[in-house]
């Protein structure tokens, strides 16, 4: 077992760190305040290859492994968790899903566009009454022979307004339950497809989260991914990989808050000495660093299993469960280390604490991760 990063992985880390610290960091407080999705920044991420890291080079991607992806996710999330979720959804849910299960035509048509950063993707599973209970799909895709007629509403969709290409999960054969569900590639601009309200969120405010509505949207049959009825299995499978991305996001948020705390603790003086000389602060820093290291090992393990083609369902769920709790705990402690300064926006850690919370909720809540882990243990 080798705990060192390869030269290639170090290069990815360097590039992602450089981009995050020198480009993404500028204007981060304003983007959070104004809920501003910055199209130009996301395009830059695409130009640098961060939006399609695992996509094969023939479709414009980086052809990299999952370890590279989580390394980049960590570095981006240290600075800007909003950019990180945009990156995560595009890489692990949309691009990876099309690459793994799409036809050659679908890959050619959509992956090249998704890799460039000109367009980003959205993954549309959740509904007003189908969050954790994802099999309970009310959106319907009626089989009309050469096309599907799509009707329904999707909620809390990351990249909802900014995406051009959406993977929409919908029920075609209600009598078959989850085995009657399909996944369709739906393009923005299709007649009957409207973008609804933007959510005013606690965190990851520079990513756009919207309700999407579909009224008699005609979707060509060739836009279905996989066999008839494969949609739910598709959603679950891409979410297994997605959870590694979100675990890496949580890890990055925690690591970013820790780095700021470490620096602040050596600069800020109380009672005539830096607060890092006080044991109360030292213990906090020690525990933060230990939990972050443990989270990183779980994230890398899940990514490595995926790269080896081994089963990673349980590892991904464990990584997300643990790393998201670490993110919440570390960011809360980071605010505490910063004291009054931690409670104001200028010092960043309050944003990180708000950003951390969503990692315990999306791509399967912590409770769902426990359910997934328990089911794997009891198989």
User: Which spans of this chain sit near ligand CAA (rule: CB under 6 A)?
Assistant: 85, 89, 123, 125-126, 132, 134-135, 158, 178, 232-233, 236-237, 239-240, 313, 362-364, 368, 372
8 A C-beta contact, residue 339 and residue 314: no
Q: State how beta strands 120-124 and 209-220 pair.
A: unpaired
Task: Give the count of beta carbons closer than 10 Å to the beta carbon of residue 309.
Answer: 7
Query: Is 199 a residue of the active site?
Result: no
Report, in Å, the least distance between residue 255 CB and ligand CAA: 20
Shorter beta-carbon distance to ligand CAA: residue 158 or 261: 158
Shorter beta-carbon distance to ligand CAA: residue 259 or 376: 376
Shorter beta-carbon distance to ligand CAA: residue 134 or 170: 134
Task: Give the count of beta carbons closer than 10 Å to the beta carbon of residue 77.
Answer: 33
**Which of 75, 119, 127, 363 is an active site residue?**
363
Report, in Å, the least distance between residue 130 CB and ligand CAA: 8
Shorter beta-carbon distance to ligand CAA: residue 228 or 259: 228
| Dihedral angle, C-alpha 324, 27, 14, 45, nearest 10 ° | 90
Report, in Å, the least distance between residue 123 CB and ligand CAA: 5
Shorter beta-carbon distance to ligand CAA: residue 82 or 223: 82
How many angstroms separate the CA atoms of 233 and 178, rounded? 8
* Closest alpha carbon to 347 in 292, 290, 268: 268
Shorter beta-carbon distance to ligand CAA: residue 345 or 375: 375
Report, in Å, the least distance between residue 137 CB and ligand CAA: 10
Write the CB contacts of 38 (distance below 8 Å, at least 6 apart in sequence): 27, 31, 206
Beta strands in the chain (DSSP E): 120-124, 140-143, 147-158, 163-171, 181-187, 193-198, 209-220, 269-270, 273-274
Shorter beta-carbon distance to ligand CAA: residue 273 or 379: 379
Report, in Å, the least distance between residue 267 CB and ligand CAA: 36
Report, in Å, the least distance between residue 358 CB and ligand CAA: 8
Provide the token pair at 42.
């996301």
Q: What would the 3-class secondary structure string for 116-176 be?
A: HCCCEEEEECCECCECCCCCCCCCEEEECCCEEEEEEEEEEEECCCCEEEEEEEEECCHHH
Report, in Å, the least distance between residue 198 CB and ligand CAA: 14
* Closest alpha carbon to 107 in 56, 170, 148, 164: 56
Q: Residue 212: what are its φ and ψ, rounded to 5°?
A: -120, 140
Q: State how beta strands 147-158 and 193-198 pair.
A: unpaired
Assign residue 152 a region: left if phi > 0, alpha if psi is -120 to 50, beta otherwise?
left
Residues tagged active-site: 363
């Amino acid at each position: 077992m080798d705990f060192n990063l390869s030269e290639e992985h170090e290069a990815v880390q360097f590039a992602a760190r450089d981009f995050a610290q020198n480009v993404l960091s500028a204007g981060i407080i304003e983007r959070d305040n104004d809920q501003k999705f910055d199209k130009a920044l996301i395009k830059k991420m695409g130009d640098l290859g961060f939006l399609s890291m695992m996509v094969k080079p023939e479709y414009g991607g980086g052809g990299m492994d999952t370890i590279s992806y989580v390394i980049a996710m960590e570095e981006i999330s240290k600075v800007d968790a909003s950019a990180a979720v945009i990156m995560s959804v595009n890489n692990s849910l949309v691009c990876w899903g099309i690459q793994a299960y799409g036809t050659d035509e679908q890959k050619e048509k959509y992956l090249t566009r998704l890799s460039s950063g000109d367009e980003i993707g959205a993954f549309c599973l959740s509904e007003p009454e189908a969050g954790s209970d994802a099999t309970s799909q009310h959106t319907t895709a009626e089989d009309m022979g050469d096309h599907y007629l799509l009707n329904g509403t999707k909620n809390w969709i990351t990249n909802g307004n900014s995406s051009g290409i959406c993977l929409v999960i919908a029920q075609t054969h209600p009598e078959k339950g989850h085995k009657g569900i399909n996944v369709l590639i739906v393009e923005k601009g299709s007649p009957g497809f409207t973008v609804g309200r933007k959510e005013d969120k606690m965190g990851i405010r520079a990513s756009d989260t919207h309700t999407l509505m579909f009224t008699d949207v005609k979707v060509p049959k060739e836009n279905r991914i996989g066999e008839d009825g494969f949609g739910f299995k598709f959603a679950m499978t891409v979410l297994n990989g997605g959870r590694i991305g979100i675990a890496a996001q949580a890890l990055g948020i925690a690591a970013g808050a820790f780095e700021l705390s470490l620096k602040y603790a050596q600069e800020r003086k109380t009672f005539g000495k830096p607060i890092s000389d006080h044991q109360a602060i030292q213990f906090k820093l020690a525990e933060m660093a230990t939990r972050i290291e443990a989270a990183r090992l779980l994230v890398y393990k899940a990514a490595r299993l995926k790269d080896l083609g081994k089963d990673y369902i349980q590892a991904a769920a464990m990584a997300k469960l643990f790393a998201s709790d670490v993110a919440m705990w570390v960011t809360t402690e980071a605010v505490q280390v910063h004291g009054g300064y931690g409670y104001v926006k200028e010092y960043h850690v309050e944003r990180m604490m708000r950003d951390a919370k969503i990692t315990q909720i999306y791509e399967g809540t912590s409770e769902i991760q426990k359910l997934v882990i328990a089911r794997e243990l009891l198989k």
